[in-house]
Structure formats: structure tokens, C-alpha cells
Homo-oligomer: A and B are copies of this chain.
């Protein structure tokens, strides 16, 4: 079990797989953090969502929603604007997946390798790197780290999708193919990634992948 004083930041990107944070991955991350005896500290950027998707029909709606406000649903109201993030406040940082990572935290879903990343996300990752603290990313969220840390050749995984892997490699990342529950650890950059719902996974497999990721982050944070 981890030191009880460990604090792990969780960057949410909305609430729902198609326009925000993937809810199962986010909750399993929070559960894995609780299980190792660490404390989860939730963050999200206070920005409009790229769009809102009706999760029953799959169609875009005309609504407007805020990433921080919707993320607060997963965090039960206990969440801080990402603009207030300080690497001194946490021992590790993790990005669950869902399209929110590729639509709200970055625009990878729209622009692929030509994407840009939200400046607050860039600043948070840079601050963690400068502090020598570990960073995790699940599902499609490793695309964010490929963009920010690609020039340093970050080693990571989004599972086994050839097109997505190629896009990440074109940003400089080294992609490793993985299956359910597996993680890739870049020891030098202290980056841990796992494919989660980038594969056709069961929720039990999602729980396994998030637990393995959180345990690796705890190991790197010590």
C-alpha cells in the first residue's frame, strides 16, 4: 500500500465518453487511487466544451456546456480549475481518456498530429516534468503527451490502432502495442500509459488497466 500522504492529480475533460472524460476510466482511476491509500485531487480547465454529444443518439446537440462544470459531476463537486494547478500540490498527475482529452484538452480528434494542446494542460505537464514527478495517461489521452513530449521521444501506448499509433509517432513519440490491462512505462520521462477503451474492453479490464497505471505512478513518485 502506498504512503497515505501521496496526492494524485486527476485531469478531467468533461463527463461522457463522446464529448468529455470517459466516465468508467475516470471513476476507476479515482477508485484505484483510493485503493492504494492515496488522495485524488481533481482538476479541469474552465473552458467551453468543443461541443455536446447526445450519448443515446450519437448526434451533436446545439447545447453549450463547460468542461469544469461537467467534470464536477464525476468529482462530486470537489474539483479545482486547472489554471490553479501547481506541481507542488501533487505527487503524480493522470489524464483519463474519453473524447474530451482529444476535443477539449487538445484538438487531436479534429486535427490529428497537427493538433494543439490547451495551454493550461501544457503548463501542468511541463511543471510535472520540471519537478521530476510522474504523469499517467489512459486511452486516447497519450496523444496529449505525444504532442508535448514527442520531441523527447516519449514512449507510450494507445493500444493497437495503427492509424492512431502512426499519428502519435509522427509527433515524435515511440508507440508500443499493448493489450488489455497492460501499461507502458517510460522510465526516463516518468510517463505511464495504458490503452483502456482504445481497445474493445470490459469494465473489469478498464479497472485492471487503471490500477496498473496508478500503481506504477505511485512507484515512480516515491
| Residues of A that sit less than 8 Å from B by CB | 15-18, 20, 23-24, 27-28, 30-31, 34-35, 54-58, 63, 68-70, 72-77, 79, 202-204, 207
Contacts and interface: CB of A to CB of B under 8 A. Distances in A.
Given A55-B73, A72-B55, A73-B16, A31 B34 contact: no
B17 A73 contact: yes
Contact of A15 (B24, B54, B73, B203): B73
Contact of A202 (B34, B57, B69): B34
**A-B complex: 9 closest residue pairs judged by Cβ atoms:** A16-B73, A55-B72, A27-B27, A56-B72, A34-B204, A34-B203, A55-B73, A56-B69, A31-B203
A79 B16 CA distance: 14
A193 B63 CA distance: 37
A192 to B, nearest CB: 21
A151 to B, nearest CB: 35
A203 B74 CA distance: 12
Nearest to A68: B56
Contact of A27 (B16, B23, B63): B23
Given A27-B28, A34-B203, 9 more contacts: A15-B23, A24-B30, A24-B31, A30-B203, A35-B204, A54-B69, A54-B72, A55-B72, A55-B75
A75 B75 CA distance: 18
Contact of A31 (B18, B77, B204): B204
A30 B55 CA distance: 18
